[in-house]
Amino acid sequence: MRRARTLGLGFTVRFFNEQAVPGIGGVWYGKQLWYALLGVALANKLKINGQKNTNIQCANAIEALSCWLALDHNGWKSDPRLRGANKLKNKKELTFEKASKSSFYVTQPMRMATVKALPALGLVQSDATRFNQYQLSEQCLLRFGLGTNSNGIYGRELFENIYQWSQGKCDVDKGRYKKLLYASLSPLEPMDETFRRLLTDVLHCGSKTEPHASKQRRRNALQWVEGLRQQPEQVPSWDSRPTMLDAEHWHDLQTGAAFFALRDQSLEVLDALELHLGALQDGRSFDLSKSTFPKPVLLALAKLRQRASEYLVLGHSEPTAFQFSRECRAESDAAIVRHLVERDGRVLRLMGSVVLPGPAFEGSPSSNHAETEALDEEADQRRLKWPTGMSSRMSNLFYLNADLHGDLDTWLSAAPFTNSEES
């Protein structure tokens, strides 16, 4: 069972990430958006032809094909841009029929990172809320040439090749089509100049319904990360606001960082208590009304109170974060732990005043808290030394911007990269 512990804070995590960089979801390199767009376009064409493949099936199939082509080409070496190495390695027949099945590829494809970005950037019609409901916007059809009667020319040839694959009319694992599709689809191959230009325009313009303030905030953030890319010797600091970011944006970034630190420290408290329960020999339970907290839990609680105070002093109005920070400053240690365990319920659960193991209890907590809702923002702090707690959205934008300048490989090779690959 996955140890994902959101503590009921998922909305607030997304709120602060969206305040950091509006409209990009978990996207951190350009082709993630391209695979999703191709998937929606293909599903629409198949529907017109009487076939019933969904957007998700088509996008997953195209993403799986793209990763297989890259892995086959590079000798099955790992790369943060690739997924599914273990599942794809022994696939012999790369037909669309097989690739579109849910069991063929990973359960958390890159497509999931695009769900919020596609409507915000005006690439799909904004009235839909689920990926399977998406239809490409007129703006997208015009720019990328993915419509059945589109005047756009950019994606037409690639889209036609993918359509032929879906009809079983071309082999993608050998010969001419393999070379053509690898060059266009491989996550390891840079975006061509035309696509980079189109995507840059999309990031600056957004959708017609996106608030101007959100567009401007994203443009300003793009300007900042481009400056950091050009002058990598810069060390961003909370003590020095970049001139292109206004005071309100900077305050949102600082408050978000304080909230993420508070959230992470609350998990440290729960981890310390889980470790204590795991070491007990005579029954794994802890009575909040009678028991004395072990030293590691007390130390974690003291730091949690400090983190809560640091958040509150910033005076942000987000209600859930305010309530959570108040809970983390309750008068008694037992009250704080009660609040946290009630929010958890997965690793630890509460029965009356007694803390008990939950369904995801292990007794030796993982040091990786990446399985919280913060991971809707897939990439962690990858290369640049960001101020402590900076939203992963800013890191994502830095790499997306580097990709737009054909510079992504340089930054990804700058240091070891840890990626939680699902296979």
Q: Give the relative orientation of helices 319-327 and 10-20 as an angle to the nearest 10 degrees.
A: 120
Instruction: Average the pLDDT over 87-116 and give the result.
Output: 94
pLDDT in tens, 185-205: 999 999 999 999 999 999 999
Domain ranges for the chain: 25-205, 247-357
What's the pLDDT at 381? 43
Does the pLDDT at position 374 exceed 80? Answer: no
Q: Is pLDDT at 223 greater than 90 in this prediction?
A: yes
Which structure tokens are listed for 325? 């920070």
pLDDT per residue over 411-422, tens digit each? 998 754 443 332
Using one digit for the tens of pLDDT, what is the confidence trace for 55-98? 999 999 999 999 999 999 999 999 999 999 999 998 878 999 99
Give the strand order in the sheet containing 354-357: 286-287, 354-357, 348-351
**298 phi/psi in degrees, rounded to 5:** -60, -40
Output the pTM of the full model: 0.90
Distance separating alpha carbons of residues 57 and 167, to the nearest angstrom: 14
DSSP 39-85: HHHHHHHHHHTT----HHHHHHHHHHHHHHHHHHHTTS---TT---H
Question: Quick one: pLDDT band at residue 367, thresholds 50, 70, 90?
Answer: low
* Residue 377 confidence (pLDDT) above 60: no
| Cα separation, 122 vs 153, whole angstroms | 19
State pLDDT tens for residues 253-312.
999 999 999 999 999 999 999 999 999 977 899 999 998 999 999 999 999 999 999 999
